[in-house]
Amino acid sequence: MTEKKTTTQTAARRTAQGAKSAAGSAAGQAGKSAGKAGEEAGKTTRATARRAQETASGASDKAASAAQSVNDTARRTARVAADKAVSTGRTIATASQRAASVAGTAWLAVKARKALAGGTGAGAVALGTAVVVLRRRAARRRRSPLARLTGGRLG
């Protein structure tokens, strides 16, 4: 029996060693597979990080571009408002100058009312006199040249 025991123990040892070596080989394969999986995961993680960085950079560029666009629009709006304010100021200044000119003319007429009245009166008298003279001449009877020469005695 001792021999049978020894043979059985030897077979068991060999089987255990075979299992141990198979387990070691499987563990080695699993380790290699895990290493490969780790490398793949690292590559994927690096690629994802790179894409995230590119996206963040693109978003940053777009935000800067939008800020610049808003700044340009605000600057243009301010310039247009300033131009309109200047134009309105000029219009008001022109209107006030015209009003001052009209007021100055009116004040001159008020100050010189006596002279204006005298000039108007003199003009009316001169016009009246001219009308009378012209009417008299037109009312005279026409005479022939002989009557004019003799003072109306002949002709």
Q: What is the DSSP string of 75-108?
A: HHHHHHHHHHHHHHHHHHHHHHHHHHHHHHHHHH
What is the model's pTM?
Answer: 0.34
* Weakly modelled stretches of the chain, pLDDT under 70: 1-6, 8-9, 11-12, 16, 18-35, 37-38, 41-42, 49, 52, 56-57, 59-60, 62-64, 66-67, 155
pLDDT in the model for residue 64? 67
CB 144 within 8 A of CB 137: no
User: How confident is the prediction for the chain on average, in pLDDT?
Assistant: 75
pLDDT, residue 16, reads 65
Could you give the CA distance from residue 139 to residue 142 in angstroms, rounded to a whole number?
A: 9
Domain ranges of the chain: 2-111, 113-155
- Judged by DSSP in three states, 151 sits in coil
Tokens of 144: 């022939």
pLDDT at 47: 75
DSSP class of residue 141? P
